[in-house]
Amino acid sequence: MSEQQTVQNQNTKQEKPNVDPQSMEQSRRSPDVLLYSDLYKNAMMGADSCAKMIAKVGAAAESQAPCDDGKLKKAENCTALRSEITKMMEGYSRYAKDAAKALNDLQVPPEQLSALDKLPADIGMTMQTMFDKSVSKCAEIMINGVTMGIIDMKKAQRVCSEDGCSAEAYRMAGDLIGFCEMHVENLKEYL
């Protein structure tokens, strides 16, 4: 192969840009990039978990699992929880979209969640609903997952604010935390 062909082959290879904020070069790893990246991942994980739980709540409605909490009939309770989780999924999707836009404005593509990133949540959800598909159990799993997300976002918000993130990034993280806390309160009605 000639030297010209070698150079040409090297130029045609497209390297995937490093989108992991933790390992990218320091000049591109600002507190805003780190916070928006954490926000994006948190929102994507939340939306994905909501989508999976909607199916599980549907299975609870069809099964003989005890769904009646004394206030609503079984089908109404399942439908109400599914509606609540759908609202959460839509909200998480909006936050993910906003965080992705903010990252793109900073010229950093958002890092997509891999199947490996989602695996622990998927396994946990499957194991916990294997024998108990009740609305109460589904609400409990969602509350635990959302609470873990709140903790992660509060840590990221604190660290990035100490490093000097923008007011906009801090506010968006705070909005996501508030959104999650509101839905945790709403989900408690189904316990």
Q: Is the pLDDT of residue 14 over 80?
A: no
Kindly list the structural domains of the chain, giving each domain's residue range(s) and its CATH number in brackets, ordered by start: 29-190 (1.20.1260.10)
Neighbouring residues of 89: CB distance < 8 A, sequence distance ≥ 6: 46, 47, 50, 51, 54
Q: What is the pLDDT of residue 184?
A: 97
Cα–Cα distances in angstroms (integers) from residue 172 to residues 16, 99, 106, 162, 176, in the given order: 28, 8, 15, 16, 6
Question: What number is the average pLDDT over the span 80-99?
Answer: 96
Q: Is the pLDDT of residue 66 over 60?
A: no
Residue 11: pLDDT band (50, 70, 90) is very low
Question: Which has the minimum average pLDDT: 2-6, 22-26, 58-62, 146-150?
Answer: 2-6
Q: What is the pLDDT of residue 71?
A: 45
DSSP 8-state secondary structure symbol assigned to residue 112: P
Q: How many whole angstroms separate alpha carbon 191 and alpha carbon 187?
A: 7
Neighbouring residues of 62: CB distance < 8 A, sequence distance ≥ 6: none
Residue showing tokens 């790893």 = 29
Q: How many whole angstroms separate alpha carbon 29 and alpha carbon 25?
A: 6
DSSP 8-state secondary structure symbol assigned to residue 22: T
Residue 122: pLDDT band (50, 70, 90) is confident
Residue 40: pLDDT band (50, 70, 90) is very high
Name the CA dihedral angle for 122, 143, 40, 151, rounded to a multiple of 10 degrees. Answer: -110
Q: How many whole angstroms separate alpha carbon 83 and alpha carbon 133?
A: 17
Question: What number is the average pLDDT over the span 85-99?
Answer: 97
Percent of the chain with pLDDT over 70: 76
Q: CB-based burial of residue 22 (10 Å sphere; 0-12 exposed, 13-18 middle, 19+ buried)?
A: exposed
Q: Which tops the pLDDT comparison, 15 or 32?
A: 32
Q: What is the pLDDT of residue 81?
A: 92
Question: Count of alpha carbons within 13 Å of 151, Cβ hemisphere only?
Answer: 6
Residue 23: pLDDT band (50, 70, 90) is low
Q: Which tops the pLDDT comparison, 153 or 72?
A: 153
Cα–Cα distances in angstroms (integers) from residue 40 to residues 30, 45, 104, in the given order: 15, 8, 12
Question: What number is the average pLDDT over the span 123-134?
Answer: 82
Selection from 68-82, 103-117, 120-134 with the highest mean pLDDT: 103-117
Q: How many whole angstroms separate alpha carbon 182 and alpha carbon 39?
A: 17
Type of residue numbered 56: K
- Quick check: 156 and 39 in contact, CB under 8 A? yes
Q: How many whole angstroms separate alpha carbon 191 and alpha carbon 125?
A: 16
Type of residue numbered 39: L
Q: Mean pLDDT of all residues in the chain?
A: 82
Question: What number is the average pLDDT over the span 107-132?
Answer: 84
